[in-house]
Amino acid sequence: MKRIRKLISSRACLHSEKVFLIWSNLFILISCSIVLLISIYFCKLFNDSLQRFSALIYTNWMAMLLLALLSVVISIVGFFGGRKIRLELMFWNFWGMLVLLGPLLGLGAAALFTNMLLRLASRHQWGHANFSGLRRRFCQPGTFDNKCMPPISVANEPSKLSEWCQLEFQSTDCASIFMAAFSDACEYLDSLTNLTGALAISAVFFMGVCMMACVRIITVPVMMQSLVALIHFIQLIPALVGIILGKINLEQDSLELAPIKIGVLQLLMGSFQLVLLLFGFFCGPVEKSQNAGCSHHL
């Protein structure tokens, strides 16, 4: 009777972990698909600019695009692995999410603190052809390619903007048209970046849920045996990505652009993960040798 109860309990536990794995991967698939679409949109906005701040925006959004794409692929693998209880797919799901956790968290957090940088880059890019759709959407009808598109040299000074408007169009309403449209456009872009950051951080949380479910289904001893063999090599990837991105952003970032420097945030997260990797690499053999000595003594 006890064996039957244990069997029923284990099957119920397996079913609950399977449900967690399936639904968590489904949430990651949906959220990262949205992040992927937003990243493509931002990459199109800033893809051919040599301006320093715009290039920084493009670099970070291209990295987010790649991470979101990989997360979508890994979540699909985990979804089918959970439905069919295929251990090899669960292993891919577990290790893939372990690699993507750090970089996705770093870029998701950075997306929440790029509003000032984004506004500055958008001001420089406002007259660019890539922004024509944005201008057409937020400028007054018929002004997106004339009154609503002042040169960057006069856009920051109302007096020069009024002179330019009077000279070019014999009018004085260019400043109000431009400022209203630019403010609305920046709020729209800010909402997209905030949504991206929230979805990315939420996806990281559900990645942790997926990893726990994989461990429960595959069992701890099997997963730990695989973990010990591969953990140092897997952790090296996100650590290096964080350090490289942080170094690139530090060379272009400045304190006036964001409350928290993007490069510092990414560099700290990459360095922290690298320190943990080195700690585990050097402590692992010591623990292993101690266990071997104990077993020999027994």
Q: Residue 75: pLDDT above 70?
A: yes
Integer-rounded Cα radius of gyration of the chain: 25
Q: How far apart are CA 223 and CA 91, in angstroms?
A: 8
pLDDT at 213: 87
Pick the range with the lowest mean pLDDT from 44-48, 91-95, 113-117, 291-295.
291-295
Please write the tens of the pLDDT for every residue from 244-258.
777 776 765 544 444
Q: What is the mean pLDDT of the chain?
A: 79
Burial class (CB within 10 angstroms; exposed 0-12, middle 13-18, buried 19+) of 203: buried
| Mean pLDDT, residues 20-41 taken together | 93
| Mean pLDDT, residues 91-114 taken together | 86
Q: Residue 50: pLDDT above 60?
A: no
Q: Residue 2: pLDDT above 50?
A: no
pLDDT at 293: 42
Please write the tens of the pLDDT for every residue from 139-158.
988 888 888 888 887 877 77
DSSP 42: H
Q: Higher-confidence residue: 43 or 296?
A: 43
| Mean pLDDT, residues 35-44 taken together | 93
Helices 52-84 & 115-125, crossing angle to 10 degrees? 120
For the entire predicted model, the pTM comes to: 0.74
Helix or strand run (H / E) with residue 112? none
Dihedral (Cα; 257, 114, 55, 252), 10-degree rounding: 40
Q: Which of 203-212, 226-235, 264-273 has the highest mean pLDDT?
A: 203-212
pLDDT at 228: 64
Q: Higher-confidence residue: 58 or 263?
A: 58
Please write the tens of the pLDDT for every residue from 105-145.
888 988 888 777 788 888 888 888 888 888 999 998 888 88
Task: Name which of 220, 261, 266 is nearest 64 in CA terms.
Answer: 266
Q: Higher-confidence residue: 174 or 280?
A: 174
Pick the range with the lowest mean pLDDT from 64-78, 161-175, 249-263.
249-263
Q: Where are the domains of the chain?
A: 16-217
Query: Around 256, how many Cα atoms within 13 Å sit in the side-chain half-sphere?
Result: 3
Residues in the chain: 298
At 8, is the pLDDT very low, low, confident or very high (cuts 50, 70, 90)? Answer: very low
